[in-house]
Amino acid sequence: MVIILGLATVVTTFLGGLFALKFKDKLHLVLGFSAGAIIGVTFFDLLPEAIELGGERFGVSAITSIIALGYLVFMVLDRVVMLYAHHDEEGEKHHSHRGTLGAGSLSIHSLLDGIAIGLAFQVSNAVGAVIATAVLVHDFSDGLNTVNLVLKNQGSRAKAIRWLMIDAVTPVVGAVSTLFWSVPAEILGVILAIFCGFFLYIGTSDLLPESYHNHPRHLTTFMTILGVAVLYIAIKLAGI
């Protein structure tokens, strides 16, 4: 069952990525939706899971502090990448490394998604089913966000597809790996807290400003709100 669900995440991730590639000409709207989706995933999925898994041992205050640390660490990494970004002949900065950093973090998160599915089934089939449903729901947005992060940072279509493939496969790797090892739930909570910080930075300081900067329209704002709302409803329905 764990392997089957892991393979299902491949399908949903690819669907999200292909959606982003097909509607590249409407990228500002897709970016607006992606910003809302990644913020929604952070607040409605990752944050509650991090507190639930790690809060009992480390305390809610410690978990939120780790989230802030994750935010600051990703900010520093992003600024370092931008500082050393090379220039083309016209003096314009390339941001491909920034896209790689964002897509890489999403892929690592997808690996943790797979691990979460496997560990949840170690607890019980019921818990495993709930976690797996939540993962399948937001893996669509993971695929969409992975492609968008590469494309908007001047990455090629081929590079976006390569990262999409990596992002799609990593949940399977994570799920299968849990058949051979396990991680204490509280440690997984800490890891999720770190990625909460990462994704808050990506959503609020990268995707959201980029979507609105060149297209300051009501529709762009609406797409961001829609992204948050869709993820909220989907995650709530998955938890029923």
What total number of domains does the chain contain? 1
Residue 158's pLDDT band (cuts 50, 70, 90) = confident
DSSP symbols for 84-129: T--B-TTSPBP-HHHHHHHHHHHHHHHHHHHHHHHHHHHH-HHHHH
Residue 56 pLDDT greater than 80, yes or no? yes
Average pLDDT of 214-237?
84
> What pLDDT sits at residue 68?
95
Residue 70's pLDDT band (cuts 50, 70, 90) = very high
> What pLDDT sits at residue 115?
84
Least confident of 152-161, 188-197, 223-232: 152-161
**Percent of the chain scored above 70 by pLDDT?**
83
Alpha-helical regions (H) of the chain = 2-22, 27-41, 47-58, 60-83, 96-123, 125-152, 157-177, 185-201, 208-213, 218-238
> What pLDDT sits at residue 96?
60
Within 13 Å and on the Cβ side, how many CA atoms surround 148?
A: 32
Residues 107 and 139 sit within 8 Å (Cβ to Cβ): no
φ and ψ of 93, to 5 deg: -75, 140
Residue 214 is classified by DSSP as S
Q: At what angle do helices 185-201 and 27-41 cross, to 10 degrees?
A: 150
Average pLDDT, rounded, for the chain: 79
Query: What range does the domain containing 22 cover?
Result: 2-86+93-238
* Residue 47, CA distances (Å) to 2, 8, 23, 88 in order: 24, 24, 30, 40
> What pLDDT sits at residue 88?
42
> What pLDDT sits at residue 205?
83
Residue 134's pLDDT band (cuts 50, 70, 90) = low
pLDDT digits (tens, 9 = 90+) for 86-99: 444 344 445 566 67
Residue 127's pLDDT band (cuts 50, 70, 90) = low
Residue 153 is classified by DSSP as T
Question: What is the reported pTM?
Answer: 0.68
Residue 193 pLDDT greater than 60, yes or no? yes
Q: Could you give the CA distance from residue 28 to residue 212 in angstroms, rounded to a whole number?
A: 7
Residue 64's pLDDT band (cuts 50, 70, 90) = very high
Residue 150 pLDDT greater than 70, yes or no? yes
